[in-house]
C-alpha cells in the first residue's frame, strides 16, 4: 500500500511538472517507476515523454534504457528493439527485465523456442516467477505443446491462487486436450483451497455438463448460486441441467427465479415455454412464448417458437402470421422460408409456396433439396415450363437422376416426346433403382415407357 501511494505521488508530481512546464528533479528509481507505470497502463505517449526526460538526465542508465526497450516492444518497433538489445547485451545479461524483454522480442518475431530460452534464464533470478510462468505457458501454446503450457500455468497458479489468467488458462489447456475428468480433479483440488470461488464452481459445472454428468453439474451450479445469488448464468445452467434430467417442473422454477435478475427476460420465457411443451402443456407454453414476444418484440426466435406451436396445434393461419413477423426481423434466414413454404403447402397456397422456394434457392443455391422442392411445387401447380427452367438451373449445380426424372415428366406433359424420352433415358442410366418411386410420383413416365415397349414389340 505504501509503495502504491509513493507511486501515485510520483506520477502526480511528474504530470504537474508537465502541466506547469516546470523542470523538477527525479532520480533514476523515480523515473523507472514513472515509465513503468505508463507502460503498464498502456499510456505510451506519456511513457515517451517520461523516457525523453529520463534519457536526457541519465543517458547511460541501464534500467532506463531497458524501459526504452520495453517501450519499443510495446509499439512493435522491432528493428529499434533489436538494435537496443545488441547495445545492452553485455550489461543486460544479468538483468531479469532485460531477459524478459529479449524473450518478448523473440515472441513477437514468432520464435517461441528462442523466447522460451530467455524466459528460462529470467526464471533463475527468482523475481516475479508467476508472470514468467504465464509467459512461458503462452509460448508453449504457440508451439501447440499444450501439456507443457499447462505445467507452467499450474506453476503460476500455485504461486498465486487468485491469478485469474493462470486459472482460466489451465481450464483452456484441459479443454484443448479433452481431459475433462482430469480438469474436474484439478478444479476439486482448487476448490479445496478456495471453497468460495464462484469461477471454480461454475467451471466445475461446465466440465460435468461436458461429460453429461448432469446431477453433479446441477450441484456445482447450485453452489455457484449460493456464492453469487445474482449470477444469471449459474441459474440458467442449473435450469439447463434440470432439463437434461427431465425435471421440467423444477427447471421452470429456476428459470422463474432468474426473471427477477434478468433485464432481458425474453430468452428465459422462451425456455420456460419449451419446458411446458415437454410437460405436454401447450397453452402454458403459448402464454410463455407470448410473454417472450412482449419482453422483446425484436426477438425473431420467439415469433418462430410461437409459430411452431400454433402449427403443432393445426392452426396454420396463426402459424403463418407469427412466422411472417419473424421473417420481417430476419429475412435472410433460409430455415424460416422453408417453414413458410411448408405452411403454405398445408394451406394449399402453392403459388405462395413456390415464391418461398424461389427465395430459398436464392439464399441457399447450393442446397440440392431447395431445387428439388421448387420444381416439385411448380409441377404440382401445373406450371411445367417454369418447372423445366427450375430443373435446368438445378442441374447446373447437381447432376442428379431425380432432377432428370422431373425434367422428363415436364417435357412429356408439354407433349415434347423427344426431350421427354431423352431426359428419361438419362435418368434411368444414372439411377434405375428409383424408377418405381418416380413412376408413383409421375405416372406419365410409366405410361410412356409401356407405350414405347409396345411399339418395339410391334416392330418385331
Identify the three-state secondary structure at position 119.
helix
| pLDDT reported for residue 312 | 95
Cα 422 from Cα 147, distance rounded (Å): 63
Domains in the chain: boundaries: 1-92
- By CB atoms closer than 10 A (0-12, 13-18, 19+), residue 348 is exposed
Grid cell 430468452 in the structure block, residue? 267
What's the confidence (pLDDT) of residue 4? 42
Q: What is the pLDDT of residue 55?
A: 81
Task: Share the mean pLDDT of the chain.
Answer: 92
- The predicted pLDDT at position 2 comes to 37
Residues of the chain with pLDDT under 50: 1-6
pLDDT of residue 54: 81
| pLDDT for 6 | 45
Tell me the fold of 1-92: 1.25.40
Listed residue (148, 170, 233, 149) closest to 198, CA to CA: 233
| pLDDT tens digits, 100-153 | 999 999 999 999 999 999 999 999 987 889 999 999 999 999 999 999 999 999
pLDDT score of 79: 94
Please, which contacts does 154-163 make with residues 24 or more away whose CB atoms are closer than 8 Å? Answer: 155/129, 156/129, 156/130, 156/131, 157/190, 159/129, 159/130, 159/133, 160/130, 161/190, 161/193, 161/194, 163/130, 163/134
Cα–Cα dist 378/386, whole Å: 7
169 three-state secondary structure = helix
Q: What is the largest CA-CA distance in the chain?
A: 118
| Cβ–Cβ under 8 Å, residues 29 and 16 | no
Amino acid at each position: 500500500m505504501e509503495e502504491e501511494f509513493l507511486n501515485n505521488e510520483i506520477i502526480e508530481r511528474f504530470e504537474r511538472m508537465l502541466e506547469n512546464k516546470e523542470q523538477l528533479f527525479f532520480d533514476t528509481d523515480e523515473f523507472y517507476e514513472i515509465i513503468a507505470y505508463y507502460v503498464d497502463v498502456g499510456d505510451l505517449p506519456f511513457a515517451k515523454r517520461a523516457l525523453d526526460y529520463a534519457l536526457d538526465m541519465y543517458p547511460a542508465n541501464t534500467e532506463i534504457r531497458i524501459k526504452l526497450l520495453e517501450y519499443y516492444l510495446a509499439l512493435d518497433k522491432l528493428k529499434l528493439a533489436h538494435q537496443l538489445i545488441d547495445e545492452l547485451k553485455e550489461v543486460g545479461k544479468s538483468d531479469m527485465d532485460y531477459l524478459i524483454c529479449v524473450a518478448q522480442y523473440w515472441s513477437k518475431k514468432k520464435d517461441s523456442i528462442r523466447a522460451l530460452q530467455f524466459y528460462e534464464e529470467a526464471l533463475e533470478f527468482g523475481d516475479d516467477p508467476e508472470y514468467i510462468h504465464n509467459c512461458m505457458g503462452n509460448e508453449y501454446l504457440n508451439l501447440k505443446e499444450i501439456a507443457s503450457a499447462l505445467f507452467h500455468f499450474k506453476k503460476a497458479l500455485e504461486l498465486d491462487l487468485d491469478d485469474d489468467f493462470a486459472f482460466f488458462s489451465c481450464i483452456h489447456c484441459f479443454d484443448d486436450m479433452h481431459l475433462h475428468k482430469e480438469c474436474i480433479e484439478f478444479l476439486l483440488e482448487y476448490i479445496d483451497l478456495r471453497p468460495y470461488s464462484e469461477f471454480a464452481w461454475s467451471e466445475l459445472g461446465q466440465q460435468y455438463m461436458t461429460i453429461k454428468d448432469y446431477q453433479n453439474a446441477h450441484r456445482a451450479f447450485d453452489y455457484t448460486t449460493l456464492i453469487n445469488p445474482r449470477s444469471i448464468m449459474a441459474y440458467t445452467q442449473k435450469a439447463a441441467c434440470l432439463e437434461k434430467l427431465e425435471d421440467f417442473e423444477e427447471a421452470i422454477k429456476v428459470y422463474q427465479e432468474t426473471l427477477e435478475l434478468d433485464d432481458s427476460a425474453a430468452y428465459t420465457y422462451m425456455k420456460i415455454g419449451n419446458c411446458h411443451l415437454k410437460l405436454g402443456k401447450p397453452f402454458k407454453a403459448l402464454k410463455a412464448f407470448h410473454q417472450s414476444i412482449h419482453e422483446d418484440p425484436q426477438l425473431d426466435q420467439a415469433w418462430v417458437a410461437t409459430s411452431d406451436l400454433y402449427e403443432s396445434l393445426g392452426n396454420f393461419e396463426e402459424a403463418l402470421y407469427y412466422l411472417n413477423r419473424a421473417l420481417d426481423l430476419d429475412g435472410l434466414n433460409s430455415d424460416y422460408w422453408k417453414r413458410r413454404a411448408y405452411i403454405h403447402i398445408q394451406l394449399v397456397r402453392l403459388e405462395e409456396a413456390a415464391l418461398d422456394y424461389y427465395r430459398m434457392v436464392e439464399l441457399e443455391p447450393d442446397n440440392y433439396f431447395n431445387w428439388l422442392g421448387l420444381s416439385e411445387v411448380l409441377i404440382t401447380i401445373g406450371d411445367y415450363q417454369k418447372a423445366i427452367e427450375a430443373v435446368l438451373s438445378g442441374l447446373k449445380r447437381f447432376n442428379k437422376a431425380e432432377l432428370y426424372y422431373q425434367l422428363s415428366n415436364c417435357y412429356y406433359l408439354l407433349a415434347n416426346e423427344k426431350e421427354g424420352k431423352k431426359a428419361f433415358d438419362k435418368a434411368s442410366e444414372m439411377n434405375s433403382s428409383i424408377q418405381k418411386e418416380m413412376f408413383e410420383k409421375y405416372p406419365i413416365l410409366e405410361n410412356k415407357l409401356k407405350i414405347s415397349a409396345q411399339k418395339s414389340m410391334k416392330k418385331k
